[in-house]
Structures are given as C-alpha cells and as structure tokens.
Structure 1
C-alpha cells in the first residue's frame, strides 16, 4: 500500500486483503454485532478508492501456503463460492490485468469498470432484484449477492445470485492471467494456468467447473 515513487509512476497496483474468522458471526448476522463486516468493507472501499475487489468465504492458509495448495484445489473443486486468493500469487497477476478478477458475495467495481458496463443506472437496471443490493462507495459500486455468503457446493449446482452478478460484470473480467498455484513437486495437482482460467470462468455456464483432469 506504500509503493516507492518510481513504481507508483509506472502504474503499479497495491493489494489489500484481510480475513475475518467466521466464528465471530452468529446465526448469519453478518452486518451486526461485534464486527459489522458490511460497514467495514464499504469503509475500506471508500477510503482506499478501491479499483476492484471481492469478499466471501476464503481459506486463510499458513505462511508456507505452497505446502497446502493441493488441498486448496481439492476444496475449490467442491465449492463454487470458495474464494481462491493468495497475495503472493495475486500480486504477480494484477500488474498486467485489464479487468476485475472475480465475482463472489461482494463484487467491487471501481469507477472505470462501472463506466465500461454502461454506468451506475445500467448496472442497477440489470441487477434490479432486491436480493442483489448495490452500494455506492464514492469511487465505484459494491454489489452484494444475497444476505450472506455461500459456499455453494458443486453438487447443488451453480449459485443463482453469483451467476446473475457474473453475467452482468463478465465484460470487464480480466483474461490476462497467470497461475494461482506454484509448480508441482511430485505430480500433485495444484492450480496451473489452465485450471486458473477455468476457475475464473466457473460461473459462466454449467460444466466449466469442476475441471476434468487428464
């Protein structure tokens, strides 16, 4: 978040991520109690003038995250709603991105992406369902898919609200990606470029995710 001036001049992006333990929330009360996550998230977007972002269920991997990547992929293949995101990998991706990364419970669109999608009014018209509230944070919009995040087990099919948001924001999703995983050590499966691409398109249509392995 504090880049040297020479990097800032070249247009580098910074990346801010935080995890909140699920056990601080009770009975699905995500917006109230000890940690009202909505208020915190919108405050972050407003103060940082967020260019893009997302929020939902995610894995808080240990420091040596590469040891756990095979398990990360296995869980991702079982749940559509599980966000796959490691700062060490994401930072190597976003400097060359020309679009947003992902759709989840919250999908954050900075003003340039809002304009590319036809503006505030057009997005609200395309997502007029009351279960898809849209919040203006001053430098863009935050779209929330339902009152609470979904793990969305693959066995139950694609989550409709996430799909609805994806259908609207897909034109501004990046296609310039790298692998979200490290290289395999002994033939174990991890995210690679092919699997990363399939995962990012998982809400586009049935049958894309989970992948089939050669």
Structure 2
C-alpha cells in the first residue's frame, strides 16, 4: 500500500528545500547567502502610523507575533533610525515599544525583524513595519504597511495560529486592504538581486504573492479604492466591500463550504479554502478557490500597479510593465467557465471545518 505523503514530516527532514541561494538568476550569481525562502506571509495596508494609538497597535501586533517567533529571531534592520545603528542583533536590540516611544511622529517607522543565520539572509520568520512620517500623512493619501510571515512547517503543525494572528492584527490596525498566502521572502538588503527568483517562481506558482508592499503602497496607481490581488486571506474594508456588492452578495456567490468571512471591525477578511495554495492540479495550475474569489472581486482589482519589480540589469526576468499587469490578471477566467470551476471546487477541494476555520466566522 502506498504511504500517504506527509508534508510536515518532509519539511522537518529537509527545511532547506524551501530556500533559494542569493542572486541565483543574476548574471554573476549565485552567491553565498539565502536570497529567497518560501513561507506564509500576511500584508496589511493601513493609515495613521504616525499616531501614538496606531503605533501602540503595531507594538501589540509584534507582541503577538513574538509569542510564536521570538526563539528564532536573530536580526533587526532599520532604515534611517533616529538613534542607533541600521543593523542590530535581535538579542541586543531594545524592545519595539521602547524604540517606537522614543521616536517623533515625523520619524520614519522602519523595522525588519528576521531569523536568518547571516544578517542578509532571507528568512521565513519575518516581521516588517513600514510606516509613513507624520508630515507625509498630513499631506493626504498616505499608506503604511505591516507584513509578517511564518515557515510552512509551522503552518502545517499549527494551522490556526497564523489565521488568528492575521485577524487580530487586522482588528488592531483597521487596514484598507490586505492579503495573506504563500510568498517568497527576499533578502531585506538584496531585494533587487533576488526579484528574478520571485518572478521565475511566480510564473509556475500562481498562488504566490509578489512585489514589495512598502514600495507599492504609495505609488499613484495604488491610490484608488481597489485591491491588488486575492489570496488565501483577503481583506476588504467597508468601502471596498460595498463596491464589490456587499457582504450578502459575496456570500451568495461563494459557498460557505469553502469560503469563510470574518468581521475585523472596518470590513471583512475572506478565507478562500482550507489552506494556502501554491497552485492547482496538473490540468490548470491556478488554485480553484482563488479563481472563484478573484472572479467576484475582479471589478475592484487594480488594472495596473505600474511595476512589481525594478528594472532589468542584464535581461533577467522581472515583473515590470506589461508582465506586472499580466500577473494581476493571472486568475482571470471567462464568465462561461465559472460553472466548471464551481463544480471542481465542490468535487475536488477540501471543505472548511473546525480544524481550518476560527469559531467567529460569520
């Protein structure tokens, strides 16, 4: 009898399978550091990062993240710190709350907590705050970002912990939009050199998120009331929810057997499927729950975000211009095909149950 494949066991045996050498697809690569690592990552876009109330909420988000991650954290990177150095070993760093309270509202909130052996290694345990300055916020249209991630092995062993963390963080920050699913974390200090790896993987894994959220947040294309993408978890504030037809309309189109809705105060978090997807089956690599969610939210998705990566140096693969727009559309299907996708969902995909959802689902 063929033994059933156990993902958690395989990841525990060979955790390095999810790591990619640095600069792998650059002309002079590879180099001796971890350039990218596959993980489960959440991203929230929110406002008012310069205010004491939101800064305390960010500290509370990190408090909750630390309960999962602290034994693994090794480095803290900061951009333009008003005090101290850009790089500190985690064990020698002050608490996030202490550092934040010492900052002026016009100081740039920039904290990248990582778990790599080397300071420039990409890591699966990751917590990143990119907060706008007060004077920028007062000019209007400001948007800040919180990102955090956990290893895939951790998710396999603790299937509700990340979902709990994501929902609690959304309730604290009242984000406008956001998403969570599989992604490749890139080296904090060498993003540009590892974007080709992300682009290569995204072409083969349509369930992946791509792009650097902190860079996307304040480009002109990101300003309208739309969303970047759908994923395992997708955040819609009330304005976006209304533009999508409202909660009742979405629930009528998305079967409760495979989609869960959670109230986060400022809107809803939608869970698409029992677990995060990298891809679909051999016939079509697009995840079925993501395709169906994308279809009902396509009307509020950005048509373009300009580019998701920086420009090419030597012709290496990047998601820029047209290719970035195609990535946004990667889950699109014709209306005439939707009945078939719904049939596949009900026949082939696992249903939600108590082991894959939180009790407060709507």
Q: TM-score, normalised by structure 1?
A: 0.86
Greater C-alpha Rg: 2
- What is aligned with 1:146? 273
The alpha-carbon deviation at position 94 of structure 1 amounts to 6.7
- 1:152-200 per-residue CA deviation (whole Å, 9 max, x = no partner) reads 0584412211111111111111124111111111111211111110001
Q: CA deviation at 1:25?
A: 2.9
* SS at structure 2 position matched to 1:144: strand
| Corresponding position: 1:188 with 2:188 | no
2:303 corresponds to which of 168, 175, 187: 175
Q: Kindly state the Cα deviation for residue 67 of structure 1 after the two structures are TM-superposed.
A: 0.5
Match of 1:101?
Answer: 228
Structure 2: stretches of 5+ with no match in the other structure: 1-48, 51-131, 335-362
- Give the one of 269, 272, 292 matched to 1:164: 292
In structure 1, the residue corresponding to 2:178 is in which secondary structure? strand
Distance 1:153 1:76, change over 3 A: farther
- For the Cα contact (< 8 Å) 2:278–2:287, is it kept in 1? no
1:8 aligns with 2:137: yes
Asked whether the equivalents of residues 79 and 154 of structure 1 are also in contact (C-alpha less than 8 Å), the reply is no
Could you report, residue by residue, the CA deviation over 1:122-170 in whole angstroms, capped at 9, with x for unpaired residues?
Answer: 1111213311111111111111111100110584412211111111111
Counterpart for residue 195 of structure 2:
69
Secondary structure at 1:180 match in 2: coil
**Match for residue 90 of structure 1?**
216
Shift of 1:23: 2.1
Contact 2:280 2:288 in 1 (8 A): no
- Taking the aligned partners of 1:128 and 1:94, their CA distance within structure 2 comes to 35
**C-alpha distance in structure 1 between counterparts of 2:321 and 2:281, whole Å:** 21
1:119 aligned onto 2:246: yes
- 5 Å matches for 1:29-44? 29-31=158-160, 36-44=161-169
Name the count of aligned residue pairs: 201
* CA–CA separation in structure 1 for the residues paired with 2:327 and 2:239: 24
More displaced stretch, 155-164 vs 10-19: 155-164
1:17 aligns with 2:147: yes
Are 1:78 and 1:153, in contact at CA under 8 Å, matched by a contact in 2? no
Residue 6 and residue 89 in structure 1: after superposition, are their counterparts in 2 closer, same or farther (change >3 A)? closer
In the alignment, the residues of structure 2 paired with residue 156 and residue 126 of structure 1 have an alpha-carbon distance, to the nearest angstrom, of 24
The question of whether the paired residues in 1 share the 8 Å contact of 2:303 and 2:328 is answered with no
Could you say which residue in structure 1 is the equivalent of 2:180? 55
Instruction: Say which structure, 1 or 2, has more relative contact order (CA 8 Å, 6+ apart).
Output: 1
Deviation at 1:43, TM superposition (A): 0.6
Aligned twin of 1:137: 264
Q: What do the CA deviations read for 1:30-62 (whole angstroms, capped 9, x no partner)?
A: 11xxxx111111111111111100000001111
- Aligned equivalents of 2:208 and 2:281: distance in 1? 11
**Structure 1 contact 97–176 (Cα < 8 Å) conserved:** no
Inter-CA distance 166–80: structure 2 relative to 1 (3 Å threshold): same
Q: CA deviation at 1:114?
A: 0.7
How far 1:96 sits from its partner (Å)? 3.7
Q: Is the 8 A contact 2:216 2:305 kept in 1?
A: no
Q: Secondary structure at the match of 1:16?
A: strand
